Structures are given as C-alpha cells and as structure tokens.
C-alpha cells in the first residue's frame, strides 16, 4: 500500500484515537499518539475518561467494524471472559421510550453482540496498536497545532513538554473538549456550525457482584420516557461483575446511593431483576457523571478548511450516551478515514468530513427526535420531529407484542442493517394493523353486552 506521508500525529489515545492510529499505520511511515494521561498496563479506569466507569454498550455493528480493523479482537475478548450474546429473549431485556420490546425464539436473523467493559475494550485495542511496529504512544499533552499561514496547513503539534512534533497529518480525537473550532478561528477560518440538544443527563453507577443464578440476561436496558425521566442500564462484564448505571434526563438527578438505585429498579425493571439487584454486593464507591449537551460540529459545511488536520470521533459528534452509540460511530469513522486516504485527490479533509457527516446525520437525527419529543430535552426542533416521534412511539408500542417489529428495531438500533431508523411501508402497515387489532380487541373487552343492559 502506498504511503501518504512520513508522520501522522493523533491527539489522544482514546478508543477513537486508537482506531485512527490503526488506520494511519497503513499509510504513514510513523504514527504517534500523544496522550497526557498515564495509560495502565492492564484494563483499568482512567482519570481522563470519567465516563468509563459507567455503562458502555458496544453495538453489534461496532463489534463487526472493530474486528475488521483489528482482526482477532472478538475471539480474544471472548477468551478473556467477555460475555457473548445473541438477540434472544433470555439474553436481553430491552425497554425503549416506555415500551418493553418482545422478542421470540423464532427470529429471522440473529446477530451476535459482545459486552466488554470500557476499560477492557480500550486495553484490548491499545495493546494491538502498540504492537504495530510504526506506532508509538507518547505521554504528553498537546497545547496547540502548528499552523503555516502561507501554506494554509497544519504542520505538527506543540506539546506541553515544550517540544514540537512535525507531522504531515494531525488527527484530533480529543473528544467533546476539542479546541479545534477555536484554533480554526485563530487561523482565520470560520468555526463550524453546530447542532446541539440540551439533554441534561446525570449518571450514577456502581460495580456489583450478583450471586450466580439470579440473572439470565446479560444486557438490561430500561430507557427513560415522557412519564419517567429516570432510566437504568445493567451489563455483565468479563470479570463476572455487573455495572449498574442509573441516569436521569432533562436535569433530573438519578439516585445517589445504592438503596435509591434498588428502589428505582423496583419501579422500572421486572421483579426478578430488581430482586437480583437487591441481593447484589456493591464494589467500591458510587461514580457520578454529567453529560449536559449532545453536539454535532458540522465541519462538512465549511467552505474553507486547513490542510493537514482532521476532526475525529467525539470531536465531530458526541451523542446521548444512554443510547450507547459513541464507540460504534468512532469505528465507522475509522472506515471513512481509510477510504478517504485511499481515494485519489488532494482534499483529504473534504472527503473525510463529508463521509463522517453522511453517517452522522441519520443517527444524530433519530437521537434528537427521541430526546426532544420523548426525553424532555431542549433545543431547536423542526416541525416534523414531533409527528415522527409520535409515529415511532406507536411503532414501539406494537413492537412490545410483535417480535418481527422488535427484531427490526433491535437490528436498526444496533446500526446493523442501516443507520436510518426508517421503517418500510410494509412495516408501517404491519404496525397499523397490529395496533388496530389491539384497539378493537380492547373495545370488545370493554363493551357491555346488550343482555346486561336489558337486565339492568
């Protein structure tokens, strides 16, 4: 494979940064990740990743994408004890927008999912990246990129050690705290237009040990909805522990102690799951975290963009974390980066930014509809969001008792079949027929027989 340059630099050794480095290693002589945080030799939470102590869900699509970038990853995770599951009733309890989806044993298409903890997944990726001969991870923070005004391009990075690192390409995976919009303005470019939704999410999480035999499911999700601003997620991890995360949307605080978590579980999950949580042993201290705003920086809208730098991962778009899509979207961007580097032409940034926007739009839009219509979020809302949200609420209502609709939703929610959460006309018709059948059955049940009217 032809080389694109001598040196590529990546800001941050996050999951997004590791994915970017893996791709860049095929195109550049050297790749360096600059990370200010100390990276543990074993799976462990990092101070620079406070969200890592809360539930992270690796979508089925994300697992497939990561396997393509890191062959053998999934087998190694399973060998390390990472739970593997399929979309069957005994594996998943899934509640969305107040509806508990019903699956059956006769699914048309099964898909496999993996449930690593965030620290374990990051460690698996990091050890693969560090094993690549032309990749290094340097412990240093980045103060700013170096910009050549005459050439209108970024030429490297200034580090907090006082050193400078020349680079043909810089990839910014600094996450939601990226300073790229500020740097663009300093260099004489426009800031990217932004879309944002004020979701007001607060997290509270505990690691738990649950006695064996109490829970068959490996993934438990009870999402927030209009009548209930609190939700819960619980995943079984590779070391036999469970991560229990409770959350509130629209600035509603979740419980801040284990007793309160148990009371919430009594309200929103089936009794056997609530009972198992009550019998669990909390490990360590409670972890708290806030996520105020989802944000999409729309770099593809800019007419001018400097050469030599790309935004990547959460530096482009950060999604409502309760939907569990962030890691999968980063893996998709790694594919976009590879194809952009393979494509002929000089405008790498335009090619990549356009591809990233194309995959971001459908996921961002459906998240925004759900947040603004069903989760009490605030932000700009086009007129069509509300009717779409109401129609989708009807769809999810039908999916509670129609496993075909539930399967379609779970596959689309996992970003497998398409990034667009748009049912076909056949599925819309099935939804209408299903709900009308339920409505008529309810009317027949409630109707008072004439002989009773006469008798009275």
pLDDT for the residue numbered 78: 94
Sign of CA dihedral 139, 144, 149, 154: positive
Task: Please state, in angstroms and rounded to a whole number, the distance separating the CA atoms of residues 248 and 250.
Answer: 7
Structure confidence at residue 150 (pLDDT): 97
* Nearest Cα to Cα of residue 39 among 17, 59, 22: 17
387, burial (CB in 10 Å: exposed 0-12, middle 13-18, buried 19+): exposed
Distance CA 425, CA 423 (A): 7
| pLDDT tens-place string over residues 209-221 | 999 999 988 889 9
pLDDT of residue 443: 67
pLDDT of amino acid 90: 67
For residue 109, the model assigns a pLDDT of: 56
- Please give the Cα distance from 296 to 451 (Å, whole number): 63
pLDDT value for 456: 41
The structure's pTM equals 0.91
**Contact by Cβ (8 Å): 395, 369:** no
Cα distances (Å, whole numbers) of residue 418 to 101, 151, 354, 363, 373: 20, 40, 18, 10, 22
Q: What pLDDT sits at residue 442? A: 67
pLDDT score for 65: 96
pLDDT at 102: 66
Nearest to 48 by CA among 65, 60, 36: 36
User: What is the pairing mode between strands 164-166 and 153-159?
Assistant: antiparallel
Place of tokens 């935004």: 311
The residues spanned by each domain of the chain are 389-446
Do the Cβ atoms of 310 and 169 come closer than 8 Å? yes
Residue 197's pLDDT is what?
Answer: 96
Phi and psi dihedrals of 200, rounded to 5?
Answer: 60, 50
Kindly give the confidence (pLDDT) of every residue in the chain, 456 residues in length, as a single tens digit, with 9 standing for 90 and above. 455 789 999 999 999 999 999 999 999 999 999 999 999 989 888 877 877 788 888 888 999 999 999 999 999 999 999 998 775 656 888 888 888 876 655 555 566 788 999 999 999 999 999 999 999 999 999 999 999 999 999 999 999 999 999 999 999 999 999 999 999 999 999 999 999 999 999 999 999 999 999 998 888 999 999 899 999 999 999 999 999 999 999 999 999 999 999 999 999 999 999 999 999 999 999 999 999 999 999 999 999 999 999 999 999 999 999 898 999 999 999 999 999 999 877 799 999 999 999 999 999 999 999 999 999 999 989 999 999 998 888 888 888 888 888 888 888 888 888 888 888 888 888 888 877 876 676 666 655 454 444 444
Give the sheet arrangement for strand 142-148, strand by strand: 142-148, 153-159, 164-166
381 burial type by CB count under 10 A (0-12 exposed, 13-18 middle, 19+ buried): middle
- 3-state secondary structure string across the chain: CCCCEEEEEEECCCHHHHHHHHHHCCCEEEEEEEECCCCCCCCCCCCCCHHHHCCCCCCHHHHHHHHHHCCCHHHHHHHCCCCEEECCCCCEEEEECCEECCCCCCCCCCCEEECCCHHHHHHHHHHHHHCCCCEEEEECCEEEEEEECCCCEEEEEEECCCCEEECCEEEECCHHHCCHHHHHHHCCCCCCCEEEEEEEEEEEEEEEECCCCCCCCCEEEECCCCCCCEEEEEEECCCCCEEEEEEECCCCCCCCCHHHHHHHHHHHCCHHHHHHHHCCEEEEEEEEEEEEEEEEECHHHCCCCCECEEECHHHCEECCHHHCCHHHHHHHHHHHHHHHHHCCCCCHHHHHHHHHHHHHHHHHHHHHHHHHHHCCCECCCCCCHHHHHHHHHHHHHHHCCCHHHHHHHHHHHCCCCCCCCCCCHHHHHHHHHHHHHHHHHHHHHHCCCHHHHHHC
Separation between Cα atoms, residue 422 and residue 418, nearest integer Å: 9
């Amino acid at each position: 494979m032809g080389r694109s340059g001598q040196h590529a630099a990546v800001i941050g050794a996050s999951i997004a940064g590791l994915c970017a480095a893996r791709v860049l290693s095929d195109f550049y002589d050297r790749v360096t990740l600059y990370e200010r945080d100390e990276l543990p030799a074993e799976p462990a939470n990092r101070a620079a990743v406070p969200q890592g102590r809360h539930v992270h869900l690796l979508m089925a699509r994300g697992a497939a994408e990561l396997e393509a970038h890191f062959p053998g990853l999934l087998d190694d995770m399973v060998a390390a004890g990472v739970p593997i599951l399929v979309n069957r009733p005994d594996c998943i309890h899934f509640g969305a927008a107040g509806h508990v989806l019903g699956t059956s044993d006769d699914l048309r298409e099964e898909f496999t999912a993996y449930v690593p903890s965030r620290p374990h997944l990051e460690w698996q990726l990091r050890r693969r990246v560090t094993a690549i001969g032309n990749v290094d991870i340097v412990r240093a923070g980045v103060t700013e990129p170096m910009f050549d005004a005459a050439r209108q391009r970024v030429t490297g990075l200034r580090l907090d050690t006082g050193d400078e690192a020349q680079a043909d390409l810089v990839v910014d995976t600094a996450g939601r705290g990226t300073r790229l919009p500020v740097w663009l303005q300093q260099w004489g470019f426009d800031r990217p237009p932004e879309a944002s939704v004020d979701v007001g999410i607060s997290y509270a999480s505990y690691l738990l040990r649950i006695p064996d035999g109490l829970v068959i499911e490996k993934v438990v999700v009870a999402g927030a909805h209009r009548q209930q601003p609190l939700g819960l997620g619980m995943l079984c991890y590779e070391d036999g522990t469970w991560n229990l995360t409770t959350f509130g949307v629209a600035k509603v605080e979740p419980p801040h102690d284990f007793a309160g978590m148990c009371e919430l579980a009594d309200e929103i999950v089936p009794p056997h799951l609530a009972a198992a949580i009550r019998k669990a042993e909390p490990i360590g201290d409670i972890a708290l975290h806030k996520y105020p705003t989802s944000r999409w920086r729309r770099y593809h809208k800019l007419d001018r963009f400097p050469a030599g730098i790309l935004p990547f991962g959460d530096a482009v778009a950060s999604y409502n974390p309760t939907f569990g899509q962030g890691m999968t979207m980063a893996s998709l961007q790694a594919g976009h980066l590879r194809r952009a580097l393979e494509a002929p032409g000089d405008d790498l940034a335009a090619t990549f930014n356009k591809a990233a926007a194309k995959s971001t739009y459908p996921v961002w839009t459906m998240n925004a509809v759900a947040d603004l219509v069903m989760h009490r979020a605030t932000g700009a809302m086009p007129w069509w969001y509300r009717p779409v949200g109401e129609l989708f609420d009807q769809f999810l209502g039908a999916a509670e008792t129609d496993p075909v609709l539930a399967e379609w939703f779970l596959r689309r929610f996992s970003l497998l079949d398409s990034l667009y959460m748009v049912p076909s006309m056949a599925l819309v018709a099935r939804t209408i027929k299903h709900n009308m059948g339920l409505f008529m059955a309810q009317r027949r049940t409630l109707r008072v027989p004439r002989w009773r009217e006469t008798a009275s």
